[in-house]
Structure 1
Amino acid sequence: MRCFGSNYKTDAYFVANSVPSLFFLGFYTTIAFVFLPLYNERRLSIGKTEADKFANNVITFYAIISLFLSIVGVVLAPKIISLIAPAFDFRTKTLAINLTRIVCLSFVFNIIVGIFSSLQYVNKRYFGQQVIHLINNLMVLLSILIFAKDLGIYIIAISGVLSWVIQIPIQKYIFVKDFKYKINLNFNDTTFKKCR
């Protein structure tokens, strides 16, 4: 457990963990300021069924973009780390690159959970939002306690990704009565055009 003090390993992890913020600032902004108002407007004017079709469209589109960004993050991790942490020595930079590649795998799951959470909020269901951080933190803490000796700092990144993966079925279960995800990608949807 000594590896989690203040040292090059934690420096590498904190830099790697900041990469999602750089990639997803625009996504999170559009969810809050574009997607939610458009979803709510459609729900109130046309009905919940049509609003849910729009939401499915957005989730599918964002999942595809997130998958692309995950691949970009994995491939360009060395350049990204060199850009945001140019003073790192070779050992720290190498670790940061490896951790970044792991963290980038969470992009798709992170954005889907974010949209599910937003949909719950609009539909006045607040439990799912409260559970997100609890599950993420619990998963990371348990993983550290069980696997840190063998996997070191890598377990924090791995458990972070797994906690987002686990969130999807949990959030779907919590929200199952109000929303069912169906793969849908319709670029001709007029409301969807406003959201892109």
Structure 2
Amino acid sequence: MATKKTTSRRKPVSRARAGTKPRRGGLRQRAAIRMAKFIAKQGEKHLNTRRTRRDAAILRATHADCAKCGGTGTLYTKAKDGSFSGSKPCPAKPKTMKVSKTQIAIASRVGADKTSGLCGWKCPCGKQEKPRYRTAKDATKALRTHERRIHGGASVGGAWYAQIPTASKPKQLESKAA
């Protein structure tokens, strides 16, 4: 009877050590990183606001005296119950096609109407954002984000509103966010 040969077992070779994770740094370094992230977030929000104000100023300038939109370049739609439910671009052709950069810069930075044509939101808890969103959909999305973070995802009855130029209609429109 033949005996079964056992294969020789090699000794396991020690593996190369995996690189250790660098430490997170001291208290000052962590605070600096946190501050840098906060500043970047605020800067991004500021640039978005400037861009939407500039876009709204261009629409106001090109749609001045428009019978359909009242000069904002945006139409606000109503639900069956009469509340405002959304927004869409004005289908009418612009009155003028070109507007000077200086006029746009002034209209988007100075005056009471610098946020006309933009949407903001309010929550019953007291938190609100000034008009900085181009459409009602964006304002509602920001309101939902606030509700998710602060109110645990439950809708508490916040509303978005649109800023209308003082020349055409001197009031702000309010609606239930859908």
User: How does the TM-score come out when normalised to structure 2?
Assistant: 0.28
Bigger Rg, which one:
2
Compare the two structures and name the one with the higher helix fraction.
1
Q: Which has the higher contact order (CA 8 A, sep 6+)?
A: 1
| Greater strand share, structure number | 2
- State the TM-score, normalizing by the size of structure 1: 0.26
